[in-house]
């Protein structure tokens, strides 16, 4: 032990360099052998070891991204369906509560039908598969009483042109004005809502 310590202390610079080089060569060889064992013999040097490692990591990342994307699409589709079902139930309840017996009631029902078509079209556009899954999920969180917020979000995100947003907002303001049933429903407002529905809803055919 003392002899080994003596030689180690008294190594010349050239001897130390030679030993260091030999250690690096041995370590590299061991690394290649371990890489070959881990990656099925595909590793020939340190560079190929890194490449093989990157392939495994990238494959795992691609699989994870694919799973997350599919989960987002399914979630947004489910939320969109729930939102539409919620709207339908709310509309049915409102229609049952309001008896259509006179001319004023008929005008109000026609007005509501035009608005429902506009609102449903906006919600359909908010669930367009071309929109990112997380964004669609956020849109689906807006209820029928939050159409103004949905309009603002879609316009801010660039999923609704300013001109379209203005027409949707005009319809929403008109609906809000008459929603509580207190203002008298006049034919001009019914006609205005009808025109907005024709403008905003593709192939809309009012009765």
134: exposed, middle or buried (Cβ count in 10 Å: 0-12, 13-18, 19+): exposed
- Axis crossing angle, helix 187-200 with helix 103-126, rounded to the nearest 10: 20
CA 164-168-172 angle, 5° bins: 165
Percent of the chain with pLDDT over 90: 36
The SS3 call for residue 64 is helix
CA neighbor of 122 nearest in space, from 87, 70, 72, 90:
87
Q: Quick one: pLDDT at residue 105?
A: 82
155 vs 149: CA distance, rounded Å = 10
Per-residue confidence (pLDDT) for residue 200, from 0 to 100: 95
pTM over cut 0.75: no
**In the chain, count of helices (H) and strands (E)?**
8, 0
- Residues contacting 86, CB < 8 A, separation 6+: 143, 144
pLDDT single digits (tens) 72-123: 666 666 666 556 656 555 555 555 545 545 777 888 999 999 999 999 999 9
Residues 145 and 117: their CA atoms lie apart, in Å, by 15
Q: Other CB atoms closer than 10 Å to residue 118's CB: what's the count?
A: 25
DSSP-based three-state secondary structure for 12:
coil
- The number of C-alpha atoms within 13 Å of 63 and in the hemisphere containing its C-beta is 6
Per-residue pLDDT, 156: 94
pLDDT band at 185 (very low <50, low <70, confident <90, very high): confident
- The model's confidence at residue 16, banded by pLDDT at 50, 70 and 90, is low
Residue 65 has pLDDT above 90, yes or no: no
Predicted local distance difference test score (pLDDT) of residue 135 = 92
């Amino acid at each position: 032990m003392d002899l080994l310590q003596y030689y180690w202390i008294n190594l010349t610079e050239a001897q130390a360099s030679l030993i260091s080089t030999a250690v690096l060569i041995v370590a590299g060889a061991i690394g290649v052998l371990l890489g070959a064992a881990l990656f099925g013999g595909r590793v020939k040097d340190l560079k190929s070891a890194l490449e093989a490692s990157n392939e495994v990591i990238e494959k795992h990342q691609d699989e994870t991204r694919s799973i997350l994307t599919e989960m987002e699409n399914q979630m947004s589709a489910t939320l969109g369906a729930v939102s539409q079902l919620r709207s339908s139930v709310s509309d049915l309840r409102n229609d049952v509560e309001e008896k259509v017996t006179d001319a004023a009631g008929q005008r109000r029902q026609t007005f509501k039908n035009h608005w429902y078509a506009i609102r449903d079209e906006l919600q359909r556009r908010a669930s367009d598969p071309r929109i990112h899954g997380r964004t669609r999920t956020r849109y689906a969180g807006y209820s029928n009483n939050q159409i103004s917020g949905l309009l603002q979000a879609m316009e801010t995100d660039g999923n609704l042109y300013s001109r379209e947003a203005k027409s949707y907002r005009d319809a929403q303001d008109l609906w809000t004005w008459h929603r509580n049933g207190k203002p008298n429903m006049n034919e001009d407002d019914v006609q205005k809502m009808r025109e907005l529905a024709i403008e905003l809803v593709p192939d809309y055919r009012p009765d």
